[in-house]
Structure 1
Amino acid sequence: MTQTALAVRRPQDPSELGALVELAAEGFGGAVTRVQELHEAVADRSFGPAAGRASVASSAPRAVHDTIAGSVYTVVRGAGTLLGTGLARTVRAAGGGPSISDHPRGRLAQSALNGLWGDRLDAAASPLAVPMAVRVRGRDVPLEHDALAAAFPAATARPVVFVHGLGESDAAWSVRAAERDGTYLTRVLPELGATAVTIRYNTGLHVSENGRRLAALLEVLVDAWPVPIEQLALVGHSMGGLVIRSAGHAATEREDRWPALVDTTISLGTPHLGAPLEQAVHLASWALGALPESRPIAAVLRARSAGIKDLRHGRLVDDEWERLDPDALRGFERADVPLLEGARHHVVAATLASSPDHPFARVIGDLLVLTPSAHGLQGRRRVVAFEEERCRHVGGHDHFDLLNSPALDGFLRDWLAPRPLARCVSGR
């Protein structure tokens, strides 16, 4: 497989700041439209429906109201569009402005933006859309032998690929590094003779699309890695664990080479059976859509990205979403997606309470994911075939603590420790 398998739509205009201004103008226009829809729904309650009224007398006040209100909204929306377009042109004429992704805070905002609307950004080939890439010191690394050798001068035969979660970036693994004496990458991997490889990707895309992109990236990475790879490990936080499972499925179907190298996968706080917050938002958007006055609010909630919606059930493949109305209350059918054969699969769930059996833990979990979902359990039935002895729990942790917690160091040391070699795929 060549690097062309990783090709994504590239923006013709590389100005990130110009794209951000246009996106803000588009968001302003959308907000004005939602307010107008709410206004019209209230007017329907007051005047009656805009069509089919009983008398001309009763329709006259409504006609005046609609004309004035419609004109005001059109002017405000148009002014916002003109202002945004003008500012974007000014930015581009001045050279495009500073690169948002060159600064840590800018990358943080860009990752959050991709989490919310990344599918739209990708479809529009926006320069704000995050391409999937290996990252070193905040920069993309080309998947070429020489570039990887320069970026990883101490590369070992045991790379460990870290895949972040929704709205995060490769920098997420360094959360609270100063107060926790480093990260998993610095506290754990060096003593194991392993090399950390961090990935950044557009978390607003469907998990299945990111799974295909990760599978393609790993196939190229294996071939271009500076030294022959003996064992490969994959670590995912939250959505990252789903992307890893989806990538394994895609690679197996294509008969890629890299799955044969995978010794270990680890998912940290991954909603394998769905996340309750997304389920609640989905239910709220469905309920709000039932009344004219609340439909604009429902429209705002429904505008969340495909990636977020995939977290409702932990969807991994196209078949789980492409024939399903994204706003339907029911109809989801889980596909049979086996775990990657030949690897050890470990999962960690966290709860704010010390015990997973605490009533508070059962309801809140780690704030975003409940223990049964993280462990692949539905009641007492195991839906995802994790072995019981490979499922762990840590108390007193929230969802994001799992990105960098010394309490997990022992688990990672045990799970990522090298095993006797059984397979090897050489790099260049």
Structure 2
Amino acid sequence: MIECSPDESQDIARRDESRALAHLGLIELGNAARGIAEMHRAIAAGVFGTLGRTPLRTWTDPTRAVHDALSEGIYAATAGSLEAAGGVAGSMVGGWGRPPSHTVPGAFALAVLNGLIGDELAATDSPLASLMRVWHAGRPVEPTAVGLRAAFGEPTGPRQASGHLVVFIHGLMETEMAWHTGEGPGYGPRLADDIGACPVYVRYNTGRHISDNGHDLDRLLTALVALWPAPVLTITLVGHSMGGLVLRSACRHASDGHSLWLRVLRHTVTLGTPHLGAPLARGVHAAAAALSAAPVTRPIANLLRRRSSGVRDLHHGTVLARDWERNSAPDRWFQPMATDVWLPPHVEHLYVVATVTRSDRHLVGMIIGDGLVLSGSGSGRNRRRNIGYVVDDGLHVGRAHHLTLLNDDTVYAWMVDRISPRRAITG
């Protein structure tokens, strides 16, 4: 096996990602042209069909034949040309500067792309599909003992690797950079200064099924415990939005596979996580079902139905593979309820919810929540479901929105008090 230097790996990533982006961009334009053609075809069929039931039929039939021939030919040629150009562009573009995934705007664009069609990218082994990896200082960390020592330090010396890992798992269409938004340092650097914990940030493909990402997170944590420069004594998992579902899935995989890292897991913290599903995901599902009824709007419905597996899992907060594997009709109006997953009993499970209003009992706050997730879903409790979170282990943040939870002083003060090793000793 030939190993590449970091510079060589970066050159390869730059070339592969740039070519894939050029190819995908033109292919998607070709698909868009086909969708427009389908809408055009439906509209024209309605107009000519109506005229065909009138005395004007003698003139409209020949006109329709010419119209259909010309329009179909133009759309087919346009789509075909764009797809062919995508293949040429993909073979010619060599890239520029750093790989797109190593830059802030490039990483953001790829995160959105992964959230939208990440399952398709993963199925075709596209270099644009993010892998479940640790990222440090804007670069992926090699999953080896040498790579981890280079990024996080040695057991002894000026940069000592901590035995308390705080692993941050981002949400849908985000990257690890999301944890550094807002003013001031993020949770990770503050935890390092205040309790000596080591922040570890992962990036992953949010368009894949949550259960698949949970499986990969389980494997990643297993490798971290085995290869970490110092003995791992404590693990804290912090997940924002979808990241909270991924960490719950990872806990289930670890329990089934008896993974060693579960023994040192002490806390999970979910921030604005739709444990019971997200209204936006259900709204998109309903819109796709409604728009599919009419030929004119069916192309829009097809576009919505193309949403990724990860987005579909947010309908009810699905974290187990068996739930989506046995769902034979993922586009039907009513979707089966997700299975409520067991929480490891030896772990302290913390959660934070936010509302745009000061009180979570305010009518607007109850309807809107944090803008994307309702309080009941974030706490894992409603009239039909209860996944096991304890009321006293939760925090409500008023006058805040979904992204506020990524870096907030109130959340940090509450979290550091709950996961501090001093609290574990004196509690």
TM (normalized to structure 2)? Answer: 0.90
- Judge conservation of contact 1:17–1:97 (CA < 8 Å) in 2: no
Give per-residue Cα distances to partners, 1:261-306, cap 9 Å, x unaligned: 1100000000000011111111011100011111011111111111
| 5+ long unaligned stretches in structure 2 | 1-11, 51-56, 154-159
| Matches of 2:242 and 2:214, distance apart in 1 | 11
Go from structure 1 to structure 2 and tell me whether the alpha carbon gap of 1:196 and 1:396 turns closer, same or farther (over 3 Å shift).
same
- Judge conservation of contact 2:251–2:344 (CA < 8 Å) in 1: yes
- Judge conservation of contact 1:18–1:96 (CA < 8 Å) in 2: no
The offset of 1:88, in angstroms, is 2.4
SS state of the match for residue 342, structure 2? Answer: coil
Residue in 1 that maps onto 2:137: 137
Residue of 355, 358, 364 corresponding to 1:351: 355
Residue in 2 that maps onto 1:38: 39
SS state of the match for residue 287, structure 2? Answer: helix
The offset of 1:190, in angstroms, is 2.3
Task: Output the amino acid matched with 2:302.
Answer: A
Task: Output the amino acid matched with 2:272.
Answer: G
Residue in 2 that maps onto 1:6: none
The offset of 1:420, in angstroms, is 8.6
| Matches of 1:77 and 1:96, distance apart in 2 | 28
- Judge conservation of contact 1:14–1:127 (CA < 8 Å) in 2: no
The offset of 1:68, in angstroms, is 1.1
Go from structure 1 to structure 2 and tell me whether the alpha carbon gap of 1:108 and 1:13 turns closer, same or farther (over 3 Å shift).
closer
| Matches of 2:89 and 2:28, distance apart in 1 | 15
The offset of 1:58, in angstroms, is 6.2
Residue of 362, 371, 382 corresponding to 2:375: 371
Residue of 290, 293, 316 corresponding to 1:290: 293
- Judge conservation of contact 1:163–1:237 (CA < 8 Å) in 2: yes
Residue in 1 that maps onto 2:146: 146
SS state of the match for residue 248, structure 2? Answer: helix
Residue in 1 that maps onto 2:335: 331
The offset of 1:170, in angstroms, is 0.8
**How many corresponding residue pairs?**
405
| Matches of 2:229 and 2:30, distance apart in 1 | 49
Percent identity over the alignment is 40
SS state of the match for residue 296, structure 2? Answer: helix
The offset of 1:57, in angstroms, is 7.4
Residue in 2 that maps onto 1:309: 312
Task: Output the amino acid matched with 1:22.
Answer: H
The offset of 1:23, in angstroms, is 0.7
The offset of 1:419, in angstroms, is 6.4
Show the 5 A alignment for 1:40-79. Answer: 40-48=41-49, 59-79=61-81
| Matches of 1:96 and 1:410, distance apart in 2 | 42
TM (normalized to structure 1)? Answer: 0.89
- Judge conservation of contact 1:164–1:240 (CA < 8 Å) in 2: yes
Show the 5 A alignment for 1:400-415. Answer: 400-415=403-418
Give per-residue Cα distances to partners, 1:162-208, cap 9 Å, x unaligned: 000001111110001xxx32111122342112111111101110000
| Matches of 2:228 and 2:25, distance apart in 1 | 40
- Judge conservation of contact 1:111–1:202 (CA < 8 Å) in 2: yes
Show the 5 A alignment for 1:100-115. Answer: 100-115=100-115
| Matches of 1:329 and 1:255, distance apart in 2 | 38
Give per-residue Cα distances to partners, 1:87-140, cap 9 Å, x unaligned: 222214xx7875212322111111111111111111111111111111110111
From the two aligned structures, give the one with the greater helix fraction. 2
RMSD over aligned Cα atoms: 2.4
| Matches of 1:181 and 1:140, distance apart in 2 | 24
SS state of the match for residue 30, structure 2? Answer: helix
Show the 5 A alignment for 1:161-240. Answer: 161-176=167-182, 180-240=183-243
Go from structure 1 to structure 2 and tell me whether the alpha carbon gap of 1:98 and 1:136 turns closer, same or farther (over 3 Å shift).
closer
Residue in 2 that maps onto 1:17: 18
| Matches of 2:423 and 2:362, distance apart in 1 | 40
Residue of 259, 268, 277 corresponding to 1:274: 277
Residue of 166, 172, 175 corresponding to 1:160: 166
The offset of 1:334, in angstroms, is 2.0
| 5+ long unaligned stretches in structure 1 | 1-10, 50-54, 423-428
Residue in 1 that maps onto 2:247: 244
| Matches of 2:252 and 2:141, distance apart in 1 | 25
| Matches of 1:337 and 1:56, distance apart in 2 | 66
The offset of 1:391, in angstroms, is 1.6
| Matches of 1:102 and 1:331, distance apart in 2 | 38
Question: Does 2:89 align with 1:87?
Answer: yes
| Matches of 2:225 and 2:424, distance apart in 1 | 16
SS state of the match for residue 115, structure 2? Answer: helix
Task: Output the amino acid matched with 1:28.
Answer: L
| Matches of 2:39 and 2:350, distance apart in 1 | 48
- Judge conservation of contact 1:192–1:416 (CA < 8 Å) in 2: no
- Judge conservation of contact 1:266–1:346 (CA < 8 Å) in 2: yes
The offset of 1:14, in angstroms, is 5.3
- Judge conservation of contact 1:149–1:226 (CA < 8 Å) in 2: yes
| Matches of 2:226 and 2:339, distance apart in 1 | 31
| Matches of 1:420 and 1:190, distance apart in 2 | 17
